[in-house]
Structure 1
Amino acid sequence: MWKKDCDRFEYLQTLVTEFQDTDSDEAKEQVLANLANFAYDPKNTEHLRQLQVADLFLDMLTEDNDNFVEFGIGGLCNLSMDPECRDLILQSDAIPLVTNCLSSPREETVLSAISTLMNLSTPLSRPRISDVAILECMLRFSLCESPRLRNLAHVFLQDCCSEEQVIQAQQGMAGQTQTALGIPLPKD
C-alpha cells in the first residue's frame, strides 16, 4: 500500500513539473485536465495539497486561455470538496477569482464556479459568497434556458442564501434588464 501511495505522489509531482516546464499551451491544457480529474479522487487530495496544486488552479483563473480557466476552476471545484483544501483555498482569497468565472461564456466554467462557491461556503465565508451581486447573478441564472445552470442556481439560492436575502435581491432587480453588475449570462 505504501509503495502505491509513493508512486501516486511521484506521478502527480511529475505532472506538476511537466506543467511548469513546458512552453506548449496544448501540453499545459492536457496536464491541467489530468490534474483536475485527479483532484476528484480523495486518495489524491493529500498529495495535491502537498504539491500546492490549489495555487496552480487559482493561478489559471486569471489566464486569457479559456481552457486554462475551465480546467483550473474544475480542479478547484474538485479540491474544494475537501475541508482542509477548502480552508486553504479560502485563505488564498479565492472568492473574487471564482466569482469572476461566473461571467465566462462557457457553461462548464460557470457550473464549476457555482459549485466551487457552494463548496467554499462556511459560516465565515457565507457573507462574501451571498453578496448581493452574486445573488442577482444566481437569480438570472435561475431563469436561464440551460436546465443544468438553472437547477444549480436554484440549489445555490436555497443552500447558500437566506430567504430574506433572495427576496431583497429580487426587489433590487425589479425593473432591471437581465444584465446586472457586469456579469452577463453565459451563452446557452
Structure 2
Amino acid sequence: MFSRKDQLLKKTGESGIGRYDFLRQLIHEFTTTTSYECKKQTLSNLANFAYDPINYEYIKQLHLIDLFLSELSNDNEELIHFALGGLCNIVCDPESREYIISLNGVKLISSYLLHKNEEISLNALTTLFYIFESENAVLPQDLEHTIIQYEGHPSQRMKNLGKVFLQTYFMKK
C-alpha cells in the first residue's frame, strides 16, 4: 500500500526514526553484517521499500539502486532474486529507470533472462518490460530471440509474460 507523508509522520511519532534514517540503517546493516540470513532479510526489506513512491527520493539519495545492481554479480540466487525485485519495484519511477539504463542495467538484468530459477527470470523480464517504456532504452538485437524461448516454457507465467513482452515491444515495429 502506498503511503503519504502525513501517514508516515503519524506512524513514526515525534521521537521515532524517520524513513530516510531507517533506510540508511538498513543499508548499513546490509553492508556490514556477516550473517547471510540477516543480509537476505535486509535486502528483502529494502526491495519492499522500493515499491512505494514516497521512498523514491530517499532511495536515490542513499544510492540504493547501486546496491541492487551490484548484487546482480552475487553468486547467491536469493540475493539476486531480492535485488531484481528491488529494481523491478523502483523502475516504474522515470528518473530511477533512466539511472538504471545509464549504469548498463539492461545488460546486467538481461543476463538473468531464462535463469533456472523461475522467480529470477520473471523478475528480470518484468524489470526489462518497464525499462523499455523509456525512450532512452535500446532493445538489444538478440533480446527478441531470447524472449521467444519463453513461448516453449512449461510455466504458464513465463509463457504469458513472454507473450506480452513480444507483443508490446516487437510486434509493433
* TM-score (structure 2 length as normaliser): 0.86
**Paired residue for 1:14?**
25
What secondary structure does 2:154 align onto? coil
1:103 deviation in Å? 3.7
1:49 deviation in Å? 1.2
Moved over 3 A (4+): none
Matched, 1:138 2:147: yes
Matched, 1:151 2:160: yes
**Paired residue for 2:82?**
71
Indicate conservation of the 8 Å contact 2:114/2:150, yes or no: no
Identical-pair percentage = 36
**Paired residue for 2:68?**
57
Distance 1:123 1:48 in 2: 23
1:163 deviation in Å? 5.0
| Count of aligned residue pairs for this structure pair | 161
Distance 1:23 1:42 in 2: 30
Q: Comparing 155-164 with 67-76, which one deviates more in the overlay?
A: 155-164
Distance 1:158 1:24 in 2: 43
Distance 1:50 1:109 in 2: 27
Indicate conservation of the 8 Å contact 1:38/1:44, yes or no: yes
Distance 1:123 1:84 in 2: 12
**Paired residue for 1:32?**
43
